[in-house]
């Protein structure tokens, strides 16, 4: 009955039970085994046999505990990967946050968890040590290491390394001498470690509770690989994004070469648009995108002859029609690529007006994309502040008055009312942006 109760309780079910009894009938042995006994010995029992049977039962218990720990480790690995994937933002990847999550899952307090995790980056001389402190708190320390000092713990590429001090043929004090002093100063002593190296990154877990085995090493390997995969994906996507942004900026600069506008103008329009988007409460991704893509508003001017763009006098009706075509030309240049959708909308609609008097399609009110309405205000302000062949540069006060009160050509009903009010609230910021990014001739 005692054995049955032990085995029925999930908390004690895997405690090994060796039943020693004077009962020697076969049915008694069967009843004991059915009650959950791991072994059954009939008296009289030889001492050597009992010790051997107990050792075997304890080995089986240790194997079960290691398998159970490995299972929990795999479960933590899956949780870590799910969190990394569901929160994955490659353009704003936070390596430190992903590493901290890895450390929390690996160092989670249980009967076999390690006490510390060292991650050494590709450059080989900068490491980050995560340690489990009282109450489960994880701390992080940055270490400056001498790469040769890591040879004693670093395995070959793609391999794991396991070390328990008593298996190394050294005393515990002698064992400490193999570790970099920066590591030893933080940990004070090391009893064992598991290490894994891949992609130039070394991951080492120190001071497991009990001997470290292949089970723990494989969990460490799995967690490290998942983290490094996410990090590599992010780095590659960021490299692609940088190339994409460089191409967009190059296209914007090419359009400027055909016009009197300057690179400073495009920067200012980006910043004005970002300011307005923030002020009216647009989502952060929208704010970030318009703060980059607003510069594409006049990309279609590549298709307009420089003589028209730089003409000091009034354009003829025919020339004006050619000038207006730059909106449609810009949309055609940018095409249907989803990543350029905002840029295309800006190029096509930044001359549309809230009251429907704009071009190329005479859109009215909310028919005009939000990014077009915002960029239209940004472009109008900067055009008023900038020198053109047909007009001088106006000071901030005059530009503000023309937008707010109108001058015949520009009237308040050209603008989305919410954006109009946002401009009035942030007018001082517009003035600051112009001064900050003012060109040499402005």
Is residue 251 in some structural domain? no
What is the domain-level CATH number for residue 363? 1.10.3210.10
Structure tokens at 178: 């193999």
Structure tokens at 233: 């994906």
Residues 50 and 81 in one domain: no
The domain boundary residue, chosen from 14, 43, 63: 63
Is residue 248 in some structural domain? no
Angle between helices 417-425 and 370-385 (to 10 degrees): 50
Rg, the chain, Cα only: 35
Q: DSSP characters for 279-293? A: HTT--HHHHHHHHHH
User: Is pTM beyond 0.85 here?
Assistant: no
Is residue 147 in some structural domain? yes
- Cβ atoms 88, 230 nearer than 8 A: yes
Residues 37 and 70 in one domain: no
Residues 328 and 226 in one domain: no
Distance of alpha carbon 220 from alpha carbon 80, whole angstroms: 12
The domain boundary residue, chosen from 235, 267, 285: 235
Distance of alpha carbon 116 from alpha carbon 395, whole angstroms: 61
Q: Is 43 helix (H, G, I), strand (E, B) or coil?
A: coil
- Which pLDDT tens digit goes with each residue over 262-308? 678 889 999 999 999 999 999 999 999 999 999 999 999 888 888 88
Is residue 132 in some structural domain? yes
Is residue 138 in some structural domain? yes
Q: Look at residue 312 in the predicted model and tell me its pLDDT.
A: 82
Which H helix or E strand runs over 221? helix 214-256
Distance of alpha carbon 203 from alpha carbon 128, whole angstroms: 10
- Cβ atoms 15, 62 nearer than 8 A: no
Provide mean pLDDT across the span 409-428. 96
Phi, psi dihedral angles at 207 (to 5 degrees)? 60, 60
Is residue 244 in some structural domain? no
Residues 121 and 15 in one domain: no
The domain boundary residue, chosen from 47, 63, 79: 63
- Mean pLDDT over each residue of the chain, to the nearest integer: 85
Residues 192 and 306 in one domain: no
Is residue 390 in some structural domain? yes
Percent of residues, the chain, with pLDDT higher than 90? 39
Residues 320 and 177 in one domain: no
Look up the domain containing 353 and give its range. Answer: 257-436
End-to-end CA gap in the chain: 95
Domain total of the chain: 3
Q: Is 143 helix (H, G, I), strand (E, B) or coil?
A: strand
What is the domain-level CATH number for residue 116? 3.30.450
DSSP 357: -
Whether the pLDDT of residue 74 is over 70: the answer is no
Residues 307 and 423 in one domain: yes
- Which pLDDT tens digit goes with each residue over 29-71? 788 778 878 887 888 888 888 888 888 888 877 777 766 666 6
Q: Look at residue 57 in the predicted model and tell me its pLDDT.
A: 82
- Cβ atoms 356, 363 nearer than 8 A: yes
- Cβ atoms 248, 238 nearer than 8 A: no
Distance of alpha carbon 98 from alpha carbon 106, whole angstroms: 12
Distance of alpha carbon 196 from alpha carbon 159, whole angstroms: 6
Lowest mean pLDDT among 96-100, 225-229, 379-383: 225-229
Residues 83 and 208 in one domain: yes
Lowest mean pLDDT among 243-252, 289-298, 348-357, 372-381: 243-252
What is the domain-level CATH number for residue 17? 3.40.50.2300
Residues 13 and 97 in one domain: no
Residues 167 and 269 in one domain: no
Residues 300 and 166 in one domain: no
Residues 353 and 217 in one domain: no
Which H helix or E strand runs over 190? none
Tokens 């940088």 -> residue:
242
Is residue 246 in some structural domain? no
Phi, psi dihedral angles at 6 (to 5 degrees)? -60, -45
């Amino acid at each position: 009955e005692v054995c049955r109760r032990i085995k029925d309780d999930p908390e004690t079910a895997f405690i090994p039970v060796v039943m020693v009894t004077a009962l020697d009938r076969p049915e008694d042995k069967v009843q004991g085994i059915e009650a959950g006994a791991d072994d059954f010995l009939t008296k009289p029992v030889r001492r050597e046999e009992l010790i051997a049977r107990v050792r075997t039962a304890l080995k089986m218990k240790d194997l079960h505990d290691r398998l159970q720990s490995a299972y929990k480790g795999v479960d933590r690995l899956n949780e870590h990967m799910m969190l990394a994937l569901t929160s994955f933002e490659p353009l704003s990847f936070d390596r430190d946050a992903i590493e901290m999550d890895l450390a929390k899952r690996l160092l989670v307090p249980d009967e076999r968890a390690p006490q510390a995790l060292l991650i050494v980056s590709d450059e080989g001389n900068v490491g980050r040590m995560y340690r489990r402190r009282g109450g489960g708190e994880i701390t992080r320390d940055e270490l400056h290491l001498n790469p040769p000092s890591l040879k004693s713990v670093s395995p070959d590429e793609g391999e794991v390394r396991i070390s328990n001090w008593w298996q190394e043929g050294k005393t515990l004090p002698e064992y400490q001498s193999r570790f970099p002093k920066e590591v030893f100063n933080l940990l004070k002593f090391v009893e064992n470690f598991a290490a894994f190296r891949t992609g130039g990154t070394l991951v080492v877990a120190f001071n497991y509770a009990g001997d470290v085995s292949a089970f723990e090493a494989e969990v460490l390997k799995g967690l490290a690989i998942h983290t490094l995969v996410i990090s590599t994906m992010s780095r590659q996507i960021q490299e692609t994004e940088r190339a994409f942004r460089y191409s967009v900026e190059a296209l914007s600069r090419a359009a400027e070469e055909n016009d009197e506008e300057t690179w400073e103008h495009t920067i200012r329009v980006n910043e004005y648009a970002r300011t307005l988007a923030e002020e009216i409460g647009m989502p952060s991704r929208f704010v970030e995108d318009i703060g980059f893509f607003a510069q594409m508003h006049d990309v279609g001017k590549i298709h307009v002859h420089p003589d028209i763009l730089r003409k000091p006098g009034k354009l003829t009706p025919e020339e004006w029609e050619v000038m207006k075509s730059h909106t449609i030309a810009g949309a055609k240049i940018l095409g249907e690529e989803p990543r350029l959708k905002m840029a295309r909308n800006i190029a096509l609609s930044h001359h549309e007006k809230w009251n429907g008097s704009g071009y190329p399609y005479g859109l009215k009110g909310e028919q005009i994309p939000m990014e077009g309405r915002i960029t239209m205000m940004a472009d109008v302000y900067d055009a008023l502040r900038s020198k053109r062949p047909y007009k001088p540069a106006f000071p901030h006060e005059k530009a503000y008055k023309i937008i707010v009160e109108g001058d015949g050509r520009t009237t308040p009903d050209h603008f989305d009312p919410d954006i109009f009010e946002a401009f009035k609230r942030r007018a001082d910021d517009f003035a600051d942006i112009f001064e900050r990014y003012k060109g040499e001739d402005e």
